Chains A and B, each alone.
Chain A
Amino acid sequence: MGISCLPIAPSQRAKLISAGYKTLNSLSSVSPSDLARDLNVAVHEAADILKIASENRLVERTFGGGQAIVPGAQTAWDIFREEQTLKHITTFCDDLDTILGGGIKCKEVTEVGGVPGIGKTQLGIQLAVNVQIPADYGGIGGKAVYIDTEGSFMVERASQIAEACIRETLDNFVFQHKDYQMCPEGMQTNTFLSNIFYFRICSYTEQIAVINYLDEFISEHKDVKIVIIDSITFHFRQDFDDMALRTRVLSGLALQLMKLAKKYSLAIVLLNQVTTKFTEGSFQLSFALGDSWSHACTNRIILYWNGDERYAYIDKSPSLPSASAPFAVTNKGIRNAVLLCKRTRMM
Chain B
Amino acid sequence: MVPFRAENPLDLPNRKCTVGCPNLDALLDGGVPCASVTELASESGCGKTQLCLQLLLCAQLPESRGGLSSASLCLFSEPPFPLRRLQSLSLSFFGTNDPLDHIYVRGVHSADDLLATLDRVDSLLSNPPSSLPIGLIVIDSIAALFRSDFDNNPVDLRRRSSLFFRIASKLKAQARRHGAAVVVTNQVVDVVGSDGGVRVGNYAWLGSSGRRVCPALGLAWANCVNTRLFLSREEVVVASDGSSEESARVCRTRRWIRVAFAPHLPESAREFVIVREGVFGLLGS
**Interface residues, chain A, CB within 8 Å of chain B?**
115-117, 121-122, 145-146, 150-158, 190, 193-194, 196-200, 202-203, 206, 209-210, 213, 217, 233-235, 237-240, 273-276, 278, 283, 285, 305, 307-308, 331
15 A-B residue contacts at CB 8 Å?
Answer: A121-B263, A150-B172, A151-B35, A151-B176, A157-B263, A194-B8, A194-B9, A198-B9, A202-B172, A210-B3, A234-B165, A235-B169, A237-B223, A238-B164, A276-B219
Contacts of A157 in B (CB 8 A): 263-264
Contacts of A206 in B (CB 8 A): 4
For the complex formed, measure the closest distance between the CB of B6 and the CB atoms of chain A, giving whole angstroms.
Answer: 4
Closest to A154 in B: B264
Contacts of A196 in B (CB 8 A): 8-9
- B14 on the interface (CB 8 Å rule)? yes
Interface size in chain B (residues, C-beta < 8 A)? 50
- Given the complex of chains A and B, what is the CA–CA distance between A131 and B99 in angstroms? 48
Contacts of B6 in A (CB 8 A): 145, 197-199, 217
Apart from the given pairs A116-B228, A193-B10, 20 other A-B contacts in the complex at a CB distance below 8 Å: A116-B201, A116-B219, A116-B223, A117-B201, A122-B263, A151-B36, A151-B172, A153-B9, A153-B263, A193-B9, A198-B6, A200-B7, A202-B172, A206-B4, A233-B223, A234-B223, A237-B223, A274-B219, A276-B198, A305-B199
Contacts of A116 in B (CB 8 A): 200-201, 219, 222-223, 225, 228, 261
Q: How many pairs of residues, A versus B, come closer than 8 Å at their CB atoms?
A: 128
Within 8 A of A (CB), among B204-230: 204, 218-220, 222-223, 225-226, 228
Closest to B222 in A: A116
- Given the complex of chains A and B, what is the CA–CA distance between A200 and B29 in angstroms? 23
For the complex formed, measure the closest distance between the CB of B3 and the CB atoms of chain A, giving whole angstroms.
Answer: 5
Contacts of A285 in B (CB 8 A): 198
For the complex formed, measure the closest distance between the CB of B15 and the CB atoms of chain A, giving whole angstroms.
Answer: 11
Contacts of B29 in A (CB 8 A): 156
For the complex formed, measure the closest distance between the CB of B84 and the CB atoms of chain A, giving whole angstroms.
Answer: 35
Contact, CB under 8 Å: A154 / B263: yes
A197-B6, A198-B8, A198-B9 are known contacts. Are A155 and B14 too (CB-CB below 8 A)? yes
Residue of B2, B261, B266 with highest tally of chain A CB at under 10 A? B261
- Which of A117, A146, A213 contacts B2 (CB under 8 A)? A213
Contacts of A234 in B (CB 8 A): 165, 168-169, 223
- Given the complex of chains A and B, what is the CA–CA distance between A273 and B219 in angstroms? 10
- Which of A190, A198, A209 contacts B3 (CB under 8 A)? A209
Residue of A156, A206, A233, A308 with highest tally of chain B CB at under 10 A? A156
- B23 on the interface (CB 8 Å rule)? no
Interface residues of B: mostly helix, strand, loop or mixed? Answer: mixed
**Interface residues, chain B, CB within 8 Å of chain A?**
2-4, 6-10, 12, 14, 29, 33, 35-37, 154, 161-166, 168-169, 172-173, 175-177, 197-202, 204, 218-220, 222-223, 225-226, 228, 260-264, 266
- Given the complex of chains A and B, what is the CA–CA distance between A150 and B175 in angstroms? 11
Contacts of B218 in A (CB 8 A): 276
Contact, CB under 8 Å: B3 / A115: no
Contacts of A308 in B (CB 8 A): 204
For the complex formed, measure the closest distance between the CB of B54 and the CB atoms of chain A, giving whole angstroms.
Answer: 23
- Given the complex of chains A and B, what is the CA–CA distance between A137 and B164 in angstroms? 45
For the complex formed, measure the closest distance between the CB of A195 and the CB atoms of chain B, giving whole angstroms.
Answer: 9
A151-B35, A151-B176 are known contacts. Are A198 and B169 too (CB-CB below 8 A)? no
- Given the complex of chains A and B, what is the CA–CA distance between A233 and B37 in angstroms? 17
Residue of A115, A157, A278 with highest tally of chain B CB at under 10 A? A115
A-B pairs with lowest CB-CB distance, top 10: A117-B261, A238-B165, A197-B6, A154-B264, A117-B201, A202-B173, A152-B263, A237-B165, A238-B166, A157-B264
Contact, CB under 8 Å: A239 / B223: no
- Which of B4, B10, B199, B223 contacts A209 (CB under 8 A)? B4
Contact, CB under 8 Å: B14 / A117: no
Contact, CB under 8 Å: B10 / A194: yes
Contact, CB under 8 Å: A275 / B263: no
Contacts of A158 in B (CB 8 A): 9
A116-B222, A151-B37 are known contacts. Are A193 and B8 too (CB-CB below 8 A)? yes
For the complex formed, measure the closest distance between the CB of A142 and the CB atoms of chain B, giving whole angstroms.
Answer: 15
- Given the complex of chains A and B, what is the CA–CA distance between A302 and B222 in angstroms? 18
Closest to A117 in B: B261
Closest to B262 in A: A117
Contact, CB under 8 Å: A273 / B223: yes
Contacts of B12 in A (CB 8 A): 155, 198
Contacts of B35 in A (CB 8 A): 151
Closest to B163 in A: A238
Contact, CB under 8 Å: B220 / A190: no
For the complex formed, measure the closest distance between the CB of B13 and the CB atoms of chain A, giving whole angstroms.
Answer: 9
Contacts of A283 in B (CB 8 A): 197
Contact, CB under 8 Å: B4 / A156: no
Contacts of B7 in A (CB 8 A): 197-200
Contacts of B3 in A (CB 8 A): 209-210, 213
For the complex formed, measure the closest distance between the CB of A119 and the CB atoms of chain B, giving whole angstroms.
Answer: 9
- Given the complex of chains A and B, what is the CA–CA distance between A235 and B262 in angstroms? 20
